[in-house]
Structure 1
């Protein structure tokens, strides 16, 4: 009997891609359909139907021809057209309904109207240069004076005042809002206080559901745990991030661990697998186990809420269970494709949800690449580690790496940085998730009926939860934890290289799995060399050389882009520049297209001159020398050589060692010793860079015996893009001066940018950091300086929430204010 058709055990099964064209076509239709003119949207289902009929006729007519592969390709096209048609019909229905209701015209004209909405998420508090706002995603149920119903997807992102904080997901609200943007998402600013409840029924108390009660009880009990657990446990168990502070939220995002606190496929798989093991251990029939598995999925989705990632994971789990029940569970890719098709056919608007996109991308990356990558890594690790640890580490690495590689291009659509330590963070944190999710979910179910038992479980899982929080914050504090992605053509080319190299490596690994290993291994020097030469001769084909070259180019491009180098240029649209002048301070505040205000000049005239040249500054409106230490005034002549200043002011104390005569300050420089306010306004005469700068001297003590404490403490209000950015420059002020100014209430609270005093030295203290709560901190400090600047205590006091830019690591850096509510974007 012939046995040639039997696959050897060490050869992986081929990937089933038959549903992949249908899934890709469905995704494309749902993504592009809403952007097409309504006339084209109405024609798409007919085009798909006609194409499906034609291709099916071609298959029937040529099914016996020799071009078998062509016929199979046409058949797949026919299946794709028929499969995607229901989704196209749904998109057509939604767009036609949206046009009939007037919603499309309303958002196109950036209109203002009364809206009745149902919240899809809990409100999130965000601090910005224009004050504190609450942001929430909601579905519009009716809008306009006549409250026109919206029986179609009308999702908006609302920014409002503190009154939104009293609502939660699933609550209804009525308010008057103005559409401010409608590009990728519809942003609406609430222009008046909200009214809880539907507009049609008037004010009402928010409805408290069983899910709300469960979540609130879990939050209350989690508050009694330790370390980061009160903030992270509700998210890790039920996807409730409302307890996360801005600091831990920022740390989870930067470390790449935010997916752990947004319940997704991993959580669903763990819960469903635990339930399945329990049911199987009871020796129940397979049909009962499958039914119980599906019931567990439904219950978990109801508890967590209808989030895009949960919908995708639950649907895929249900289809996967069905496939296993009927013996068709050998391939996960067609299950993912079918679940994607089913979900988008029911709700095409989910394709625009970032959570859904990342969930599908991560799952696809794991499904395609995790197994071959793990098979390649495990033998290497087994040479240095025991089999158990080699298997665990290789599996964790393969899952984390493939998910991150698949998601990174999507992540770059809404963040402008990469997290180089996220893979390490996931390797450390992901194995802790099962210790939290399974007992934590049991605790959530018992927290109302048996709070004592729930409390014991929550205390038990608080240890791995605290470990995840520690990993996130520690990784965020590492140097270079946020590497800015290049903009424009360079960034696009890098993404293309990223995908190209990833696909090439994936195909190589998949093909490697399809090659059987030799039955007998001959080990001799001659055979080894002969094998190497034979393999080289077979593999060094033109196609392989091109592929290898592309992978090398991609790796080199990533290394060159993100390797820490000292920049020599800044973005042309900069607003603040931190000059790399060695161990010293020099900062530029832009006042026009080619003009600036300078705060300190560093110790070296050549470096000061180079910074002005780098920034394209040809005119100085004001030079502020905070005090007469050489590292703040030594470079003054370099400035005056190329950009004469209209005004130079300085401060100095009572120590005769430091006097204007001992510096290169010109005779026109004037000493200040009392509060002064000035305005630099070129906005009307410089439309290319319309900016107004209001500067206020808060302190300049000529009686100070310590020259550091004679420093000018300068407060800036920079009016740009219709908003105000505040900044505080502190010279070398030490802790006692800071305490005095705070005691006299001369330092404003909640500034946007803080220049840390004395190059981040410990004697600058942390009181100013705590009082001003800046969004960004700046340090002028020399690389490898012998003073130990900046001190670890100062850097730790900043925490993960505050962006830190320092000239010893970043070189000369620029900060550019954005048009949106985001504070600043650092350009390096």
Structure 2
């Protein structure tokens, strides 16, 4: 018996709506409106044209097929135009309210806001070392000529973590705020920061009171979960309510590396489980079938209110409702059309969903389960029990579809995500469904809620254990190969996945089925054992001979800028922290171009001498500079001299630190900055970097094998260096040292002798007139057993990290 064909009639409309929404949110108001009108006009014109053609054709199969095609084309154009018009109308509202002008001018404004999320703490502290947090807000009004003017725009509020902690979802805020524009396509139109005044909380209005009804339930849930076993108190608030504030950084990292982080965020799976429990209860009570839709709507509404109606939660609720609607319809084949309807509805109502990775991943995972979940389960049932086949089929179907999207988003692969999800999947309903019931009861019956959450804590603790153990496995998180190797493997994976999907949907192999399976096996093997793990293979696919450039996996670079200093610490594919800028703009610009750096998170200027700051304009040329942190004497007016418009400039103080998470984690701390020193050299800002390889946690004090400690010194001289050493200001372990003052004699040798760094780099001009580096410095490095690289001899020097081991490449 041949399988029924999939109902893909709405797929073109969904794809067209998504494409139009993604294009519209990147345009200005006029462009988005024009796009919408063109698409709607095209739909009308196409409908009229095809209607005329159909009148000329006689009735028959050909006419019927043409009519169906015409209807779907008109529908696709109409829906795409509607999404573009929605974006254009919202952007027009921003223009008419004057909000766009305010954001572009970055002028402080008195704003009234409403918090639409709970605070989320940032991994990177402020320049003064103060922890920070962000709150997603809706800008309600701005004050113009002493009169409030409505705005209605999304933004992100950046505050100190302590101040942000007092803000809850739904509360209204007012303050004098400065705005910074965001990138086109972002839901948030601006980043808001206080301008010299604290943020005031306004009296509650109707919406605030509504949200405050559920706040005690959320707080009581977290308190009731504290008695749960193991690490369940950290996971339960996240798995039930999407509240990750109780999770430690270590557990969060472990869950990410195990591919289980989606379990601690409200997703369509949460909503589907809660809905499924309610619908199952209605069926047990033998209530009429018509009761299911209103019960589903009420349940979803209450659940969204409980976990907070943020855009991601609303998206999850709509996605989660697909399964319930498919069950009510009594047709499994209705699931894919319902998925398309869901995607179209969300994009027409809110086109900015098109640019949200969570929405993309949710749609992909749902599509995978809908398309191949059942056929894959039937296939697996031939070799394993039905319950095991069901769990494995769901995990594999979702992972197969989301993997091509996760690679560019996460910049790495969780190798054991499928087995980890298979182990965790049976435990999730035991947490989500009774946990949600306990959350509802927590504020009124705390004893009962605590008992229920203790029971839920057993499977939650097991899930945490799965995450921990999985993250500890070899190469739990690995980089996807760059360059040609990554492109080839990516194409192979996609082709193999398409072949497998086709075979599963048709429930038979094509003539080339053997080849498809072989390609699939090769692609999946590439995921389980990346080319980096196979000695020699990476070099065959993407040769990188020493001396040909920095290499694609570089993490630290000493630029060749002549007689000056410039060190670069990579924090992402095209972003980095830059320490000093050399003597002139052109060499600085050329080095960052060679390294592929398009964004400078932090520009650290050790002090005011020209050989360290002369190339600032080159660093900023065509790049976004996030902030400038500088040392040097107190009298140096760095902000005036540098002339970087719109870039925050701050003085470095000992203890100021920051952290960049992600695939290339870096933590940094200013360990010396004596602004009152007699000489500018001794006022240099010295910075300690802890650079982690392959996504391992980094900390200047952890001493782990996977962390490389780097120290930059500016031009610190001998006496000040000894003083800092004696005071314990400089790190005990130094793997890579940027030698002070180009290796000059006055830099001293105490640090080299007492710390004995593994590797040292000296930035120095070829045949310079200063005699740098001094013989005494080179002799001390040799005696310490330190490997030395010099820009006058080696040119650009870059380092990659292989499980904490420095690998060097020279030559630019």
Q: Distance in 2 between matches of 1:437 and 1:351?
A: 28
Alignment match, 2:255? 252
Q: Note if contact 1:110-1:181 (Cα within 8 Å) is conserved in structure 2.
A: no
Change (3 A) 1:194 1:499: farther
Q: Note if contact 1:142-1:150 (Cα within 8 Å) is conserved in structure 2.
A: yes
Q: Deviations over 1:234-254 (max 9, x none)?
A: 111111112122222222222
Change (3 A) 1:399 1:158: farther
Change (3 A) 1:65 1:98: farther
Change (3 A) 1:732 1:368: closer
Q: Distance in 2 between matches of 1:509 and 1:158?
A: 48
SS of match in other structure, 1:154: strand
Q: Distance in 2 between matches of 1:399 and 1:296?
A: 25
Question: How much does 1:435 deviate?
Answer: 0.8
Alignment match, 2:132? 133
Which of 71, 81, 87 aligns to 2:83? It is 87
Q: Distance in 2 between matches of 1:503 and 1:166?
A: 50
Q: Deviations over 1:186-234 (max 9, x none)?
A: 56252446645568999x9999701111101111111222221111111
Aligned length: 613
Q: Distance in 1 between matches of 2:149 and 2:489?
A: 45
For structure 1, the residue ranges without an aligned partner over 5 or more in a row are 1-7, 382-389, 516-534, 579-587, 598-620, 622-676, 696-713, 734-743, 757-777, 781-804, 816-828
Alignment match, 1:77? 73
Which of 468, 472, 476 aligns to 1:473? It is 468
Q: Distance in 1 between matches of 2:105 and 2:405?
A: 29
Which of 17, 21, 36 aligns to 2:8? It is 17
Alignment match, 1:56? 47
Q: Note if contact 1:225-1:459 (Cα within 8 Å) is conserved in structure 2.
A: yes
* TM-score of the aligned structures, taking structure 1 as reference length: 0.64
Alignment match, 1:485? 480
Question: How much does 1:400 deviate?
Answer: 1.6
Alignment match, 1:31? 22
Deviates more, 1:241-250 or 1:258-267: 241-250
User: Pairwise mapping of residues 269-284 of structure 1 onto structure 2 (< 5 A)?
Assistant: 269-284=272-287
Q: Note if contact 1:196-1:205 (Cα within 8 Å) is conserved in structure 2.
A: no
Q: Note if contact 1:485-1:491 (Cα within 8 Å) is conserved in structure 2.
A: yes
Which of 354, 365, 370 aligns to 2:368? It is 365
Question: How much does 1:476 deviate?
Answer: 1.9
Change (3 A) 1:550 1:64: farther
Q: Note if contact 1:133-1:161 (Cα within 8 Å) is conserved in structure 2.
A: yes
Alignment match, 2:119? 123
Question: How much does 1:290 deviate?
Answer: 3.7
Question: How much does 1:474 deviate?
Answer: 2.1
Question: How much does 1:437 deviate?
Answer: 1.0
For structure 2, the residue ranges without an aligned partner over 5 or more in a row are 566-581, 583-605, 621-627, 633-668, 674-680, 691-699, 706-724, 737-756, 760-798
Q: Deviations over 1:3-32 (max 9, x none)?
A: xxxxx4xx4332111111111122222221
Change (3 A) 1:510 1:592: same
Q: Distance in 2 between matches of 1:71 and 1:158?
A: 54
Q: Note if contact 1:591-1:692 (Cα within 8 Å) is conserved in structure 2.
A: no
Change (3 A) 1:406 1:39: same
User: Pairwise mapping of residues 333-412 of structure 1 onto structure 2 (< 5 A)?
Assistant: 333-381=336-384, 390-412=385-407
Change (3 A) 1:323 1:553: closer
Q: Distance in 2 between matches of 1:404 and 1:561?
A: 20
Which of 520, 526, 533 aligns to 1:563? It is 533
Question: How much does 1:149 deviate?
Answer: 4.4
Q: Note if contact 1:251-1:473 (Cα within 8 Å) is conserved in structure 2.
A: yes
Q: Deviations over 1:762-802 (max 9, x none)?
A: xxxxxxxxxxxxxxxx999xxxxxxxxxxxxxxxxxxxxxx
User: Pairwise mapping of residues 411-426 of structure 1 onto structure 2 (< 5 A)?
Assistant: 411-426=406-421
Q: Deviations over 1:718-740 (max 9, x none)?
A: 99xx995545699999xxxxxxx
SS of match in other structure, 1:404: helix
SS of match in other structure, 1:448: coil
Question: How much does 1:66 deviate?
Answer: 5.6
Change (3 A) 1:287 1:69: closer
Q: Deviations over 1:266-296 (max 9, x none)?
A: 1111111111222221222222344333322
Question: How much does 1:77 deviate?
Answer: 0.9
Q: Distance in 1 between matches of 2:103 and 2:17?
A: 26
* TM-score of the aligned structures, taking structure 2 as reference length: 0.65
Q: Distance in 1 between matches of 2:280 and 2:379?
A: 30
Change (3 A) 1:556 1:279: closer
Q: Deviations over 1:395-425 (max 9, x none)?
A: 2222222222322343345432221122221
Alignment match, 1:784? none
Alignment match, 1:625? none
Change (3 A) 1:393 1:100: same
Alignment match, 1:539? 511
Q: Distance in 1 between matches of 2:277 and 2:369?
A: 21
Change (3 A) 1:678 1:101: closer
User: Pairwise mapping of residues 766-781 of structure 1 onto structure 2 (< 5 A)?
Assistant: none
2:107 is the counterpart of 1:102: no
Deviates more, 1:87-96 or 1:446-455: 87-96
2:593 is the counterpart of 1:590: no
Alignment match, 2:231? 228
Deviates more, 1:75-84 or 1:486-495: 486-495
Deviates more, 1:684-693 or 1:371-380: 684-693
Question: How much does 1:589 deviate?
Answer: 7.7
Alignment match, 2:177? 176
Q: Deviations over 1:130-178 (max 9, x none)?
A: 3322123222223465576455442336354531122122223234133
